[in-house]
Structure 1
Amino acid sequence: MEKTTGIDRAQLLAGTASAALAAALLPACAARAGEKRPGEERPGEERPGEERPGKRPGLRHHGVVYTVGAGETPGTAFSANRMRRDIRVIRDELHADTVDVTGDGVERLTATAAEAAERGLRVWLQPTLGDVPERDILEHLAETGRFAERLRRQGAVVDLSVGCEFGLFVPGIVPGDTVLERVRNLLDGKVDPVVMQRRLDRFTAKAAAVGRSVFRGRLSYAAAQDDRVDWRLFDVVGIDYYSYFADKAHYIRELKRYLRFGKPLAITEFGTCAYVGAPETAGMGWDVVDHDKHPEEIKGHLVRSERTQAAYLGQLLDVFDSLDLYAAMAFEFVTPDAPHRPDDPPHDLDMAGYSVTKTLKDRPDDPASGWHWEPKAAFHALAHRYATARAAR
């Protein structure tokens, strides 16, 4: 089946942490691991593309995406206390060794990154401010990158990604005032590919330069699968991967294209939704919600299937293991604005979400309602795989 351009599912499915919190966690990181000079390798730290002696082959780092957006309602606004609990679960119950901290808001990003580092997780820090002027996006990147460098100097293991799928989130590359408008214009062919590529190259180079100016560790970018990127600008190739094939050989053949650059390959997003047939949508599984209805409603007669989601994640992990990839981050940990309604299938928005947990609201029709998450089959599948990998290491 033909794949489609990947997108940031969290942004489309649609309270602030204190900077003092993030700063307070830094000394503990430094005390645990010790400072180092810029460019100096810590004992046991791998350089990009370098294998440690005796290291068994397979996927090197197992992670999950944790989005720190403000939430669409009062009840789903960012909570530092909830974030701390989630990070502990990611380490102790999901058994991930890496967390991809993404979203917008420097204070939210830095507080979450500091918490993850303090808990001993590898941090993949990726600011994704969108739909604002270029200057604001680059300033947001610079401020986040400076904090990433502070974490790195004080002992944390941090990779910095300069952003995600710029064609969708940075105004002026693809026609359209919003992310959704740009997605539709791409799907409808209302884009001049030559002009788009020129604009994308220009902004990607700017973002890479900003990243290099503030951060001395590994630099990357989360590209859509079909993006043409000058990977000479980066240390790690990053791909948001949502392909679907009937057999493993096709996945391997496709992914090998990204290894030709001679750099480590990180799968910066992979996953699918929890309904029958979702993997075959190749990254467009989110597009089954009628947003014109109130309340929003699932189109058609989809059949919920957590098993389908879990099986797809396992299938891709098999592929990533066989290629000895650098890292893979499952998309995503939680999507609070897509609640699960077990007794109301037409309004079970969790079916159209990619999270490995399901959000349950105390009062389903109240925007200010409290909520909690429960693990889905995909959570348990990842936890088993990640625990096995951790034990092998």
Structure 2
Amino acid sequence: MRSDGISRAGFLALAGAAGGAAATGTLLGAGPAAATERGATPASGAGRPTARARRGGGLTHRGVCYEVGEEAVDAGWTPARMRADIRAIKDDLHASTVSVWGDGIDHLSATSSEAAERGLHVWLQPRLADRPEREILDHLAEAGRHAERLRRGGAEVHLSVGCEFVLYVPGIVPGDNVLERVENLLNGTYDPRELARRLRSFTARAAAVGRSVFRGALTYGAAVDEEVDWSLFDIVSVNYYGHHQRHADHVRELRTFQRWGKPVAIAECGTCTFVGAPDHGGMGWNVVDYGVRPPRIKGGLVRSERTQAAYLSEVFGVFESMDLYAAMAFSFVSPGSPHVADPLYDLDMASYSIVKTIRARPDDPTSDWHWEPKESFHTLARHFGRARRVR
């Protein structure tokens, strides 16, 4: 999703910043102890993944996030382009899984079906923002019914009921849209207890809707600092943009998610394409000045595909060492952030995508475009390919 130049990755980063309040108890959630006190029963079901299904075997699923949508203005979705992209994800990236996310049901259905037909494991995540709660839940139910049809047809598919509800669902935090809610979170202009109550309530409602239409494994895409009652779900799923100097510090941060005794998936991970980008975590998008036309890169940054590739290699190594269930790089392509030779206007530097968008006419944002792999694409392809051969 993108709004006035603010990317989805940016919203995630701001959610993480707001999540700092969670550490002090303001974004109150439901950890394992709290769930036990309420008498919650962990979700279970036939055919759902178990936390220790492949101990010592590294990740079960490795892949990438792929955006679709009708309202995401820079998604660039067309049937032909989508089919080519899914083919590249399977055959060239050597991924075993793809996270299909967005707001358009038709696009979600077509893309997830194509991925399943090509033998990819599918994570389907409907993501509708700034709509009434009932509309968001209806959207989830429609996507979930499609996921169930795929599952009954033999596809390996998981359903994620959404992403970072505190940002995307009106009424949990004050604000008429995502940007206003982010501002209120950062300014502290919200009631922490009311936020916690509303977030728990909506998450439970979303989980119930997901269960009502889908019989496979259920999860939710949480910000790393968000407190979630994971007893409602089969898989603990987090968006991880952490940066640490030591492998052990990554492990320490992620180990807390294993305490539920459920499979842990990294729903998103990544960094941007400039020197020092990992230090920015999920805020790498913020190096673009969208207040001028055309937008330009701030601060004299140096493009570095190697930085992005090295970060992804590092964190996937961490995930493998912890035998996590799955990890998906964010993201495959970002048509709204094209690459150009002039570093001042190279918006791809602020992109988390593993391929770069090249427009036929760089000065025309509506011109046709194609993508070319970045160094991170090749790095992940080698990693995924080796893992596939080992299995």
TM-score by length of 2: 0.87
The answer for the alignment partner of 2:284 in structure 1 is 285
Q: Deviations over 1:358-382 (max 9, x none)?
A: 0000012223310000000110110
Equivalent position amino acid for 1:143 in 2: E
Q: Deviations over 1:202-230 (max 9, x none)?
A: 11011000000000000000000111111
Structure 2 residue 136 is matched with structure 1 residue 137? yes
Equivalent position amino acid for 1:239 in 2: V
Structure 2 residue 318 is matched with structure 1 residue 319? yes
Contact 1:271 1:312 in 2 (8 A): yes
Contact 1:297 1:349 in 2 (8 A): yes
Tell me, in whole angstroms, the C-alpha distance in 2 between the residues paired with 1:335 and 1:77: 8
Structure 2 residue 257 is matched with structure 1 residue 258? yes
- The 5 A counterparts of 1:177-192 are 177-192=176-191
Contact 1:130 1:170 in 2 (8 A): yes
- Change over 3 Å in CA distance of 1:296–1:12 after alignment to 2: farther
Tell me, in whole angstroms, the C-alpha distance in 2 between the residues paired with 1:10 and 1:94: 25
Contact 1:149 1:217 in 2 (8 A): yes
The answer for the alignment partner of 1:127 in structure 2 is 126
Tell me, in whole angstroms, the C-alpha distance in 1 between the residues paired with 2:195 and 2:224: 16
Structure 1 unaligned regions, length at least 5: 1-6, 14-38
Contact 2:75 2:336 in 1 (8 A): yes
Equivalent position amino acid for 1:345 in 2: P
Contact 1:94 1:382 in 2 (8 A): yes
The answer for the alignment partner of 2:222 in structure 1 is 223
Structure 2 residue 46 is matched with structure 1 residue 49? no
Contact 2:127 2:162 in 1 (8 A): yes
Contact 1:101 1:113 in 2 (8 A): yes
- Change over 3 Å in CA distance of 1:261–1:204 after alignment to 2: same
- Change over 3 Å in CA distance of 1:356–1:71 after alignment to 2: farther
Q: Displacement, 1:177?
A: 2.1
Q: Deviations over 1:36-88 (max 9, x none)?
A: xxx764xxxx6333526xx7521111010000024766x86420100000000
The answer for the alignment partner of 2:355 in structure 1 is 357
- Change over 3 Å in CA distance of 1:134–1:225 after alignment to 2: same
Tell me, in whole angstroms, the C-alpha distance in 2 between the residues paired with 1:254 and 1:76: 32
Equivalent position amino acid for 2:68 in 1: V
Tell me, in whole angstroms, the C-alpha distance in 2 between the residues paired with 1:185 and 1:359: 34
Equivalent position amino acid for 2:66 in 1: Y
Q: Displacement, 1:302?
A: 1.0
- Change over 3 Å in CA distance of 1:71–1:337 after alignment to 2: farther
Contact 1:271 1:330 in 2 (8 A): yes
Structure 2 residue 105 is matched with structure 1 residue 106? yes
Q: Matched residue of 2:377: which SS?
A: helix
The answer for the alignment partner of 2:385 in structure 1 is 387
Equivalent position amino acid for 1:51 in 2: A
Percent of counterpart pairs with the same letter? Answer: 59
- The 5 A counterparts of 1:134-283 are 134-283=133-282
Q: Matched residue of 1:125: which SS?
A: strand
The answer for the alignment partner of 1:62 in structure 2 is 62
Q: Matched residue of 1:176: which SS?
A: coil
- Change over 3 Å in CA distance of 1:221–1:323 after alignment to 2: same
Q: Deviations over 1:286-307 (max 9, x none)?
A: 1111111111111221111111
- Change over 3 Å in CA distance of 1:128–1:76 after alignment to 2: closer
Contact 1:298 1:348 in 2 (8 A): yes
Q: Matched residue of 1:287: which SS?
A: helix
- Change over 3 Å in CA distance of 1:180–1:209 after alignment to 2: same
Contact 1:211 1:219 in 2 (8 A): yes
Equivalent position amino acid for 1:49 in 2: A
Contact 1:287 1:352 in 2 (8 A): yes
Q: Matched residue of 2:324: which SS?
A: coil
Contact 2:159 2:218 in 1 (8 A): yes
Contact 1:335 1:359 in 2 (8 A): yes
Match of 1:376 among 374, 377, 384: 374
Tell me, in whole angstroms, the C-alpha distance in 2 between the residues paired with 1:12 and 1:289: 16
Equivalent position amino acid for 1:278 in 2: A
Tell me, in whole angstroms, the C-alpha distance in 2 between the residues paired with 1:78 and 1:11: 21
Equivalent position amino acid for 2:357 in 1: T
The answer for the alignment partner of 2:8 in structure 1 is 8
The answer for the alignment partner of 1:329 in structure 2 is 328
TM-score by length of 1: 0.86
Structure 2 unaligned regions, length at least 5: 1-6, 14-44
Equivalent position amino acid for 1:355 in 2: S
Q: Matched residue of 2:261: which SS?
A: coil
Q: Displacement, 1:10?
A: 7.9
Q: Matched residue of 1:282: which SS?
A: helix
Q: Matched residue of 1:187: which SS?
A: helix
Equivalent position amino acid for 2:53 in 1: E
Contact 1:339 1:361 in 2 (8 A): yes
- Change over 3 Å in CA distance of 1:292–1:276 after alignment to 2: same
Contact 2:144 2:213 in 1 (8 A): yes
Tell me, in whole angstroms, the C-alpha distance in 1 between the residues paired with 2:369 and 2:167: 30
Q: Displacement, 1:11?
A: 7.3
Tell me, in whole angstroms, the C-alpha distance in 1 between the residues paired with 2:100 and 2:46: 24
- Change over 3 Å in CA distance of 1:185–1:276 after alignment to 2: farther
Contact 1:48 1:218 in 2 (8 A): no
Contact 1:71 1:337 in 2 (8 A): no
Contact 2:71 2:103 in 1 (8 A): no
Equivalent position amino acid for 2:62 in 1: H
Tell me, in whole angstroms, the C-alpha distance in 2 between the residues paired with 1:347 and 1:9: 19
Tell me, in whole angstroms, the C-alpha distance in 2 between the residues paired with 1:71 and 1:134: 18
